[in-house]
Structure 1
Amino acid sequence: MIHTLNGDNVEITDALRDLVGEKLARLNTFGTETTSAQVSLKINGLEQTASGTLRVDGQDLTAITATAPDMHAAIDSLVDKLSAQLRRHTQRQHGRPR
């Protein structure tokens, strides 16, 4: 999977890049072809936000935003939300829960 990482008021360090790549690798377990992911990290005052969009089976899943007091928690929450949305997508495609 190809992932793009952007930062707004955030310096994208190698540690953040590795963390996002490691977390997004969990999304490959659903049996669908996730071709790309776009993740944007933003700091606005005390609020830290991670938002993302997945491209799956030729279509984009909607952008999801997660906010938390620290960036690691925001990234974890974002990946959890993307995982739930990907699970719903595969259930719709295959017609039954997995």
Structure 2
Amino acid sequence: MNHTLNGDNVEITDALRGFVGEKLAKLDVQGTDTSSARVTLKIDGSKQSASGTLQVDGQDLTDITATASDMNTAIDQLVNKLSAQLKRHKQRQYGRPQ
């Protein structure tokens, strides 16, 4: 999966890029055709947020945002929310498992 990482008031370091890449790699295991992801990291005062959009089967899933006091926690929450969104997309597309 290709991913684009942008920062708003955040310097994107190699460590952050690697952490986000490692977390997004877990989404590939779910068996959907996830072609790309766009992630934006933002610091606004004491709040740190991560927002992302996945492109699956040629369509964008909704923009999802997670906010926490720590950037790594915000990224973890974002990936969990994206994973849940992928599951819902997969169930809608292929039908509910019996």
Whether TM-score is above 0.5 comes out as: yes
Contact 1:41–1:50 (8 Å) recurs in 2 = yes
Aligned partners of 1:4 and 1:76: how far apart in 2? 17
What is the SS of the residue equivalent to 2:62?
A: coil
1:62 corresponds to which residue? 62
Amino acid at match of 1:41: L
2:85 corresponds to which residue? 85
Structure 2: 5+ residue stretches without partners: none
How far residue 30 of structure 1 moved from its aligned partner, in angstroms, is 1.6
User: TM-score normalised to the size of structure 1?
Assistant: 0.97
- Residue deviations 1:21-61 (CA, integer Å, cap 9, x gap): 00000001221110000000000000000000000000000
Structure 1: 5+ residue stretches without partners: none
Aligned partners of 1:82 and 1:65: how far apart in 2? 9
User: TM-score normalised to the size of structure 2?
Assistant: 0.97
- Residue deviations 1:49-75 (CA, integer Å, cap 9, x gap): 000000000000000000000100000
How far residue 97 of structure 1 moved from its aligned partner, in angstroms, is 3.5
Contact 1:50–1:66 (8 Å) recurs in 2 = yes
2:96 corresponds to which residue? 96
1:51 corresponds to which residue? 51
Report percent identity of matched pairs. Answer: 73
What is the SS of the residue equivalent to 2:29?
A: helix
Contact 1:30–1:90 (8 Å) recurs in 2 = no
Amino acid at match of 2:76: D
2:74 corresponds to which residue? 74
2:6 corresponds to which residue? 6
How far residue 5 of structure 1 moved from its aligned partner, in angstroms, is 0.2
What is the SS of the residue equivalent to 2:10?
A: coil
Aligned partners of 1:30 and 1:14: how far apart in 2? 26
